[in-house]
Amino acid sequence: MLGFTVILALVGTVSAACTGSTCETCSFSSGCGWNGAQCVSSGLLNLNCGNAGWTCHDAYACPGTPPAYNESFARNQLWRLHAAQAQNVPTDIGFIGCMEAADASAVFLGRVQVTCGFPLPTDSCTTDVFALPASNAIVATTLGTAVNSTQLINALIALTIPLTTNGVIIYWDNANSLLWPGVETILSSAFAPSSPYAGYNLVLSGHSIGAAVAVLMAGEAAQASWLPSTAQVSSITFGEPRIGNYAFLDSNFAVAPNHLRIINQNDVITTLPLAGLGVFHTKYPVQYKNGMTSAFLGTQTICNTYEDSNCAANTLSGIPGLSPDYHNVYFGTPSYPTWRATNCSYAGI
Ligand SMILES: *[C@@H]1O[C@H](CO)[C@@H](O)[C@H](O)[C@H]1NC(C)=O
Ligand SMILES: *[C@@H]1O[C@H](CO)[C@@H](O)[C@H](O)[C@H]1NC(C)=O
Ligand SMILES: *[C@@H]1O[C@H](CO)[C@@H](O)[C@H](O)[C@H]1NC(C)=O
Instruction: Say which ligand is closest to the CA of 139.
Output: 1
Residue 262 has a pLDDT of 98
3-class DSSP state for residue 39? strand
Residue 298 has a pLDDT of 98
Q: Which atom of ligand 1 is nearest to the CA of 75?
A: 5
Cβ–Cβ contacts within 10 Å for residue 262, how many? 29
Return d(Cα 280, Cα 212) in angstroms, integer. 12
Return d(Cα 12, Cα 192) in angstroms, integer. 57
Residue 8 has a pLDDT of 40
Residue 10 has a pLDDT of 44
Return d(Cα 20, Cα 34) in angstroms, integer. 9
Residue 126 has a pLDDT of 94
Tell me the torsion sign for CA atoms 90, 151, 302, 248: negative
**pLDDT digit string, tens, across residues 10-30:** 443 444 579 899 999 998 888
Q: Is 51 near ligand 3, meaning CB less than 6 Å away? A: no
Cβ pair 184, 176 in contact under 8 A: no
Q: Is 94 near ligand 2, meaning CB less than 6 Å away? A: no
Q: Is the pTM of this model over 0.85?
A: yes
3-class DSSP state for residue 32? strand
Residue 29 has a pLDDT of 80
**pLDDT digit string, tens, across residues 88-140:** 788 888 899 999 999 999 999 999 999 887 777 677 899 999 999 999 999 99
Return d(Cα 249, Cα 226) in angstroms, integer. 24
For ligand 1, atom 4, which residue shows the shortest CA distance?
73
In this predicted model, which residue has the larger pLDDT, 92 or 297? 297
In this predicted model, which residue has the larger pLDDT, 45 or 302? 302
Query: What is the average pLDDT across 191-199?
Result: 98
Residue 150 has a pLDDT of 63
Delimit the CATH 3.40.50.1820 region(s) of the chain: 71-340
Residue 3 has a pLDDT of 45
Cβ–Cβ contacts within 10 Å for residue 282, how many? 27
Reference 292, options 334, 247, 254; nearest CA is 334
Tell me the torsion sign for CA atoms 15, 17, 20, 22: negative
Diameter of the chain by CA atoms?
80
Phi, psi (rounded to 5 degrees) for 116 = -125, -165
Q: Which atom of ligand 2 is nearest to the CA of 97?
A: 2
* Cα-to-centroid distance, 332 and ligand 1 (Å): 20
Query: What is the average pLDDT across 27-44?
Result: 90
For ligand 3, atom 1, which residue shows the shortest CA distance?
148
In terms of C-beta distances under 8 Å and separation of at least 24 residues, what long-range contacts does 79-82 make, across chains too? 79/238, 79/330, 79/331, 79/333, 80/344, 81/128, 81/130, 81/139, 81/141, 81/205, 82/141, 82/143, 82/205, 82/207, 82/238, 82/336
What's the topology of domain 71-340?
A: Rossmann fold (3.40.50)
Read off the DSSP letter of residue 38.
S
> 2-6, 85-89, 157-161: which range is least confident on average?
2-6
The fraction of the chain above a pLDDT of 90, given in percent, is 63
Return d(Cα 330, Cα 327) in angstroms, integer. 7
Residue 313 has a pLDDT of 79
Q: Is 93 near ligand 2, meaning CB less than 6 Å away? A: yes
Return d(Cα 222, Cα 68) in angstroms, integer. 19
Mark out the alpha helices in 131-192 (DSSP H runs). Answer: 149-158, 170-190
In this predicted model, which residue has the larger pLDDT, 140 or 315? 140
Question: Which segments within the chain are labelled E, that is strand?
Answer: 32-34, 39-41, 55-56, 107-116, 123-132, 137-142, 201-207, 233-238, 259-264, 285-288, 301-302
Return d(Cα 76, Cα 294) in angstroms, integer. 12
Query: What is the average pLDDT across 144-172?
Result: 74
To the nearest whole number, what is the mean pLDDT of the chain?
88
